[in-house]
Structure 1
């Protein structure tokens, strides 16, 4: 799966446990009608992939959805989901975006001098 958007936050690499497990979190804000702020984890050697990126960069992130089951001390089963990134690439301005193309300034058009208001047009409004 892939997610596209702008980098909102890149956290520092954190190390956990005696075996040196490394994790780094990235938040990408999607650019759609209802933007989503998605936290994506990069682990172990993949944490280094984020070194050349900055907040505000437009990116495409390849992800895997992960889920796990855990039984707490009271015997209740809990489920957790995570989004794990494994590749990231910068998007060029406008790439992958559904923005409207730029509109030329009004003085780029010639005025309509011979306009006849009584002419019928086929516009539905």
Structure 2
């Protein structure tokens, strides 16, 4: 099941590689939640760690993630595993609502022309 959150990056950890060859990288995103902002830790594993390259603390992002759970020695653990990151600035600049498709200039209209 996929989930999504939007917030500002607080921290991006360095990648961690374990003896088994497993690699992960964690990022903390601060999400406004009323009076008390929440600091959400998300992990990116294996080939998904490259999604964090080029991101900076303070940057607004939307992260798509899955919730993963497991049992270890009678205790239960949950992880938020990210698989997609979109920087807010990139989303805003990619959509230019005033320009027509194809990047063409709109046709000129005179004072007596009706554009519909």
Name the TM-score, length of structure 1 as normaliser: 0.67
Aligned length: 88
Corresponding position: 1:86 with 2:91: no
Map 1:1-125 to 2 at 5 A. 1-17=3-19, 19-33=20-34, 34-71=36-73, 77-92=74-89
* Structure 1 runs not aligned, ≥5 long: 72-76, 96-125
Structure (1 or 2) with the greater helix fraction: 2
Aligned counterparts of 1:88 and 1:26: Cα–Cα separation in 2: 11
- Which aligned segments of 4 or more residues in structure 1 are displaced greater than 2 angstroms? none
Name the TM-score, length of structure 2 as normaliser: 0.71
Task: Indicate the RMSD between aligned Cα atoms, in angstroms.
Answer: 1.5
- Offset, 1:46: 0.3
* Structure 2 runs not aligned, ≥5 long: 93-116
CA contact (8 A) 1:60 1:89 kept: yes
Where 2:5 maps in the other structure, the secondary structure is strand
- Offset, 1:36: 0.3
